[in-house]
Amino acid sequence: MRLRLDLAYDGTGFHGWARQQDLRTVQGEVEKALDTVLRREGTALTVAGRTDTGVHARGQVAHVDVGEEELREAGRRSDDPPVTALVRRLNGVLDTDVRLRRITVAPEGFDARFSAIWRRYAYRIADSAAVTDPLDRGQVVSWPRVLDLPTMNRAGAQLLGEQDFAAFCKKREGATTIRSLIDLRWDRDAYGVAVARVRADAFCHHMVRSLMGCLVAIGEGRRNPRWAADVLLGATRDPTVTVMPAHGLTLEEVGYPAESELGARARESRAVRTLTPPR
């Protein structure tokens, strides 16, 4: 049987999601915890959004395949359902910078990576002393100049839709850089912090942070609002676009289709994007 894992982490202390020899990664820590709690070896997780070093997640989704007997054993000494007991036992083993929030038995055809129809990220910037909160400094970038969000939104609107985002992506041989950008919008939260909501079917490497760098240059007046569309048309990685710091970025949510469409969606995205793991 397949389990869906919903998890959250503070990316500060991790070398990103993907397992690496001798480096602390989210995948490495969670797989090790599953090995411990399920008394097995070599657990392999599949994830919706592989995040880079320092990037956070509030709504990350992964899946793992387990035997019914393993799961029953994990919840043996508990009155709770086995998946609830498993959440508690994993959180007991993991450090507090990564938390399992929910584990559910996945529906037929579910694949955390290939069934996903979109990924939503947030990017947070405190652009004046008045809105800077030291309690959130690990997840909000402090910026020395005030940003003009309406202008950034006008510029960003030109990037929406299915486009070749090569100009905003770190190049990978043989991988397509065509993506569908669904939302790209800045607003201020209740405290006045500038928050971008960025949603696409998937993202190529460094794409969100490069989009943010482009719009910030426009928002502080260093660049003309038309520059975003010009960069996009350039169609190769533009070195004048700054990749914004990792710690402002959080994977907030992953969208999946209704149960009946899970299998079809997985076959479809596997065909299109096998060579480009979502970032």
Active site residues: 52
Stretch that binds a copy of itself, among 42-50, 123-131, 150-158, 206-214 (CB under 8 A): 123-131
| Shortest spacing between CB 95 and a copy of itself, in angstroms | 9
Q: Which of 39, 69, 96, 173 binds a copy of itself (CB under 8 A)?
A: 96
Position 93 contacts a copy of itself (CB under 8 A): no
Position 154 contacts a copy of itself (CB under 8 A): no
Position 99 contacts a copy of itself (CB under 8 A): yes
Q: Which of 138, 150, 161, 221 binds a copy of itself (CB under 8 A)?
A: 138
Site residues for a copy of itself, 55-74, by CB under 8 A, read 56, 58
Q: Which of 53, 132, 151, 153 binds a copy of itself (CB under 8 A)?
A: 132
3-state secondary structure the chain: CEEEEEEEECHHHCCCCCCECCECCHHHHHHHHHHHHCCCCCCCCEECCCCCCCCEEEEEEEEEECCHHHHHHHCCCCCCCHHHHHHHHHHHHCCCCEEEEEEEECCCCCCCCCCCCEEEEEEEEECCHHHCCHHHCCCCEECCCCCCHHHHHHHHHCCCEEEECHHHCCCCCCCCCEEEEEEEEEEECCCCCEEEEEEECCCCCCHHHHHHHHHHHHHCCCCCCCHHHHHHHHCCCCCCCCCCCHHHEEEEEEECCCHHHHHHHHHHHHHHHCCCCCC
Position 250 contacts a copy of itself (CB under 8 A): yes
Position 137 contacts a copy of itself (CB under 8 A): yes
Position 4 contacts a copy of itself (CB under 8 A): no
| Shortest spacing between CB 156 and a copy of itself, in angstroms | 24
- Binding-site size for a copy of itself (CB under 8 A) equals 27
Position 89 contacts a copy of itself (CB under 8 A): no
